[in-house]
Structure 1
Amino acid sequence: MVVADIDTGINPYHAFYNAGSSIYPAGSPPASVTPELLAELGVDAAHQLTLTRTGDFAADFAADKAIWDGIKKGELYWFKGTNILAVTLRETNDGGIPILPDDEDDTHGVGTSSSVLTGNPEAVILFVEPDALGSDASHAYAFEHPAVDIVTTSYGASIPLVGIPLPEASSFPKTFQGVVELGKLHFSSAGNGPGLSPLRAGAGPWWSIGVSGFEEDSSNGRTLLSGLFPDFISDFTQNLPYCMACESGTNEFTAGTSFSTPLAAGIASRVLLEARRALGSAGGIQVRPDGKSQMAVAADGRTLSNWQLRRALEEAAYIPQITDYDPIEGVFDVAGLPINPVAPWLQIGWGVLSINPDKGVVAKALAFLGLAGEAPAAKDFGYCGFQTGNVQIRHQYWDVAAPASDPSITPPTEDPFIYC
């Protein structure tokens, strides 16, 4: 189960990614990168790196100087003892450090990658350090890579200082090809300000999944100031590693849709992984004789497409109740507001993609797919009606605006989207 994360840099020295951490406690070290996967990806012994980890980052980095000096642009590396594979598309002589953050202000990718693994510690991270965020090269690498199942992106255009997302007319490059033609899922941030998610280049297109933010298990508010009309919401503030020159420690206030988005992607990857196990489907995305890409294929012929997985997540997403709102915590939560009990879909889209087992998102999604347990009851028609209208508007906007700016996009004659 491979999730590609396009971002600024990752810190594989950090304890979070290694055995003995909160997500890999004793007896369950990260072990998703198998010899078979390495062979599929073409990662030979020379590209399998063992880092020095004593707890002293400066000393360990110095001890590993030969490793970092040997990193080459465009070549994929595995950091042994982790579920991290990484590639840099930057020029390696540009004065920065390949793959690692260049400084403490360049740690966004540490947060996004660790958020994916919070959602699914068994996911393999294929980390792409771009030549520039949103570049054609980085998107082509992630969205056209045959081993990648899900791509998460946490960037976009917004008004400086206030962060309100701007309407955009050109979709992110290669997202259409990756989702519609190659069968992947794309999760993208809906923005931290009150902009319209359907008009964002990443989160807006009907083939992509827009994720907004929600203060889960705190005030359960702050939904109206974070990406309006998304597909889903997920936890806005998390406790994640967020540093360059360290090997331990976390920031319990790592906040933004930059992190709710990869968390949602990680949860989706957990559903996909369990679905593949239930179906006995080995390997990644497969192309069937009819030319359609399937995320899983069982020996008895049953298949699972990216559209079916998305539909399962829609029905499985948790619906917060007005009683979940804590008015005392809400006083200290900027713009914290309770969920509207009359029309909650206006705030939360299909609902919360939560890692909390009590919310049952993974279990319900698998049940909806007919792979485990009893299928959940269909959600209120208001969700279906509103979200269907949302997707139809996105169709109208992106099927006209996107091809005008990207001639590589040809809207399909048959709509692959599975409606409720």
Structure 2
Amino acid sequence: MSSLAWIDFDEVERQRALRIMALLDEREGRDELGLGSIRDSIADHLFPGTSTIQTRLRYMLFVPWIMRTLEHRDLAAAQLRSEARALEVRLADALKAGGEQYGIIGRDAGARLQRLPSSVYWSGLGAWRIRTFPGSVDSLFASLPALTRRRHPVDLDGLAEGGNVDPVWARTLPAAPADLLQKTTFRLTTEEAQFIVDRLLNAQAGSLISFLAREAVEVDCDYIWAHPRLAEFPHFARRLVHHGEIFSQIMHGAALLYNMTLSELRGRDDWTKEYGRRIAAWSEEIQPTLARGWSLDEFWDVIKHPGHSIRPAAKRFVTEWLELVAGSAPQIAALPSARRLVEMRERQLKTTQSRYLNRSVRDRWTGASGVNRLTFRWHQARSHLKDLIDAS
């Protein structure tokens, strides 16, 4: 059983560790070919503060409300941590009592819950400046006694708004409902929705999620590049979406080929045939994209993000795959150089756990790993935007 431990990472490292833990918990890892840093760079530009393990937007308020109930408790850090956990578990019961069925963190786990809402949303709370405290959840518990004794921090965000701010949360955070831990729902009030929009515009004014939150138009599309108002997006976001669409489409072929070759190694003719069909369809769809041309140099420049470092090996893999696709897209499934490129990339990343090399690992493979196109967290962002629109 794998585990990760830390004493007190800075927040960036802590969230990175949590993302790794999320991947370890998933039945099939999504980043089989090491494209995660590229994917997350794009996603964090477009939809900062989101993550693939977030469910509903009101957790951005549930977490501060729960933590605020502990601010005046004269308890040691370990006791505060235990109290907070108990309250977060109770929140799941309150949501069920309110009639919610989907998106509840800990709905089935109950007291066995491992990934608390606070850990899932902590980074986003900071990115949206709902949380003004700069440290981790654990460092907050250690600091609470001192923080509650002094309520006058120096905070540029707060000074810009006027007056003093809470040392932990945004000054304008709405009050929690009185029955929060007895019966509640995911539906935001109008005041709560406006608070979140204001926080987004204050903290992430140039992001696409802020633009879409301000516009408040509900859409139903699977990919952000299919958004009906794409032409109205801010220039930087429109440019990034354009590059993201091409990257997602081109690299999807590598993922399909990876799954096809594993199917062959497993001796599963039915899986192999299905992936062969999907690769053939992909090779037809990719032709118009290749005809338009794509500047990788411009792509690497556009997606640069301070929170992510893209390794040379990842860039080299993308470059070499693009060259193979541009020259032989219709024959890619049978191309030895393409098969070799995908295999060597996976072996480099997984070493002894490579499904190509380790038969026992391969035999546990269930037939699909990372086969969906990259969406750069559009599904989570779309859910959050819908919650804003549905506020009442």
TM class by smaller structure: under 0.3
Structure with the higher helix share, 1 or 2: 2
- Which of the pair has the greater relative contact order for Cα pairs under 8 Å at 6+ separation? 2
TM-score for both structures, normalised by structure 1: 0.26
Structure with the higher strand share, 1 or 2: 1
TM-score for both structures, normalised by structure 2: 0.27
